[in-house]
Amino acid sequence: MNIVKAPNLIRTTGLGSCVGLVLYDQVRRIAGMVHVMLPSSSLSKSGPVNVAKFADTAVPQLAAKLVQKGARVPALKAKLAGGAQMFQFSGGSDLMRIGPRNVEAVLEQLKILRIPVVAEDVGGNSGRTIEFNADTCILQIRTVNKGTNEI
Amino acid sequence: MSFLTRISDIHLDILKEIGNIGAGHAATSLSTMLKRKIDMKVPSVRIVSFDEMMEMAGGSESLVAGVFLRIEGDAPGSMFFLLPIEQAEKYIQQLLGDSTISFRNPPYDELGLSVLQELGNILSGSYLTSLSDFTHLSLLPSVPGLGIDMAGAVLSYGLMEISQAGDYAIVIDTVLNEEEASVSTRVKGHFYLLPDPDSFAVIFKSLGVETNE
């Protein structure tokens, strides 16, 4: 979980079933990114939880951190990418469709916080590297086979 | 997480031996299939953060072909057979005797993909069989999944189970090399065995070592 101010960039590499979520305040030119691995902290089997890892803890935490650094709640917007299905299994336990579940969980949290989703590039079955420019508020998504995409 | 604080050198040595036995059998299978001499490095066992694990595979953005399978049974876990993309191509070209097969641009050659998946299946199978014989545990591999993509994207899938319990993984990493080849053309593969957190106690117990000394 990291926060940047323009003109800095923020990026995360090799997103598979994880979801990369960016929250930003375009006017104040501040953005934060979080790399969500699992949908819910209730899945955690250990005591102290790493809040950045779970959708239900990471999203509110990121929003709170941004506000602390000067972003305004009503101005926050979201862009997200990731949540791919990297392997296809015939049987498939619930853990195997973790990508879509991560996306659902992140969207649900955004809905609770009333943060509008401006753009998303989710699902599919390829890994992504994403980079957000706090200046232009463009999220650049690079995949191995489909080149670079901007949202 | 508490388990990691209790792990001792003896435990790490046992895990290393597990990697040694498993990968040794897999190397033999690979050598038989390719009709080449395959060299195996001494396995390394490391407790790593997820980021460090990506680094072990050459960085989270490096392109790899990974065969992933879940281990079910007495000691559940995840297993990867990971090859850099060029080396996966080399293996498959060699096995099929067709030098046009490429995994650079989709759609990939279907036969090539199928052979690669089967290769991973056979190697992981021989790894697990020997491990199962050694520990007398029932270890059942799932149908393997094949992913050709960024290492980070492929590996994070196998970390799902572990990430529910903490931010670190115990990785048993064994490197396979092709002997008699110049350094640049060497075929190099990684085996990652990632037992689920609860499985360590089971594995150690099966070998007569207690975890809570």
Residues of B with CB under 8 A from a CB of A: 1, 54, 59-61, 63, 68, 105-106, 142-143, 145-157, 159-161, 163-167, 197
pLDDT tens for each residue of B39-96? 777 778 888 888 888 887 777 788 888 888 888 888 888 888 888 888 788 878 878 8
In chain A, residues with a C-beta closer than 8 Å to the C-beta of B106 are: 145
What pLDDT was estimated at residue A50? Answer: 79
Q: How far apart are CA A141 and CA B128, in angstroms?
A: 38
Q: What is the domain extent for residue B29?
A: 2-206
Q: How far apart are CA B9 and CA B162, in angstroms?
A: 21
DSSP state of B41: P
B107 burial (CB, 10 Å; 0-12 / 13-18 / 19+) is exposed
Query: Which one of the listed residues A3, A18, A36, A134 is annotated catalytic?
Result: A18
> Quick check: is B93 in a domain?
yes
What pLDDT was estimated at residue B175? Answer: 77
For residue A21, what pLDDT band results from cuts at 50, 70 and 90? very high
* Close Cβ partners of A71 (under 8 Å, ≥ 6 residues apart): A23, A24, A25, A28, A30
What pLDDT was estimated at residue B53? Answer: 82
A18 is catalytic: yes
DSSP per-residue string spanning A12-62: EEEESSSEEEEEEETTTTEEEEEEE-BS-GGG--SSS--GGGBHHHHHHHH
For residue B182, what pLDDT band results from cuts at 50, 70 and 90? low
In chain A, residues with a C-beta closer than 8 Å to the C-beta of B3 are: none
C-alpha torsion sign, points B56, B60, B65, B70: positive
Q: What are the structure tokens assigned to A23, written together?
A: 């929250």
Mean of pLDDT over chain B = 80
pLDDT tens for each residue of A98-115? 888 899 999 999 999 999
> Quick check: is B211 in a domain?
no
Residue A67: what are its φ and ψ, rounded to 5°? -65, -40
ipTM value, please give it.
0.76
| Cα distances (angstroms) measured from residue B99 to each of A129, B90, B119, B203 | 31, 8, 17, 42
B152 to chain A: closest CA residue: A14
pLDDT at B178 exceeding the cut of 80: no
Cβ proximity of A78 and A36 under 8 Å = no
Mean of pLDDT over chain A = 85
Number of domains in chain B: 1
pLDDT at A90 exceeding the cut of 50: no
Out of A13-27, B37-51, B153-167, B184-198, least confident range? B184-198
Q: Domain spanning A2-150 has what CATH number?
A: 3.30.1330.200
In chain B, residues with a C-beta closer than 8 Å to the C-beta of A18 are: 156
pLDDT tens for each residue of B108-124? 778 888 888 888 888 88
- SS3 state at B111: helix
Out of B14-23, B125-134, B178-187, least confident range? B178-187
Whichever domain contains B42, its CATH number is 3.40.1550.10
Q: How far apart are CA B93 and CA B87, in angstroms?
A: 10
What pLDDT was estimated at residue B82? Answer: 86
Question: Domain map of chain A by residue range?
Answer: 2-150
Task: Name which residue leads in pLDDT, B182 or A98.
Answer: A98
Of A38, A91, A144, the CB nearest to B150: A144
Residues 89-128 of A with CB under 8 A from B: 89-91, 95, 98, 126-128
What pLDDT was estimated at residue A95? Answer: 57
pLDDT tens for each residue of A34-77? 998 888 887 777 666 778 888 888 899 999 999 998 888 888 99
pLDDT at B183 exceeding the cut of 70: no
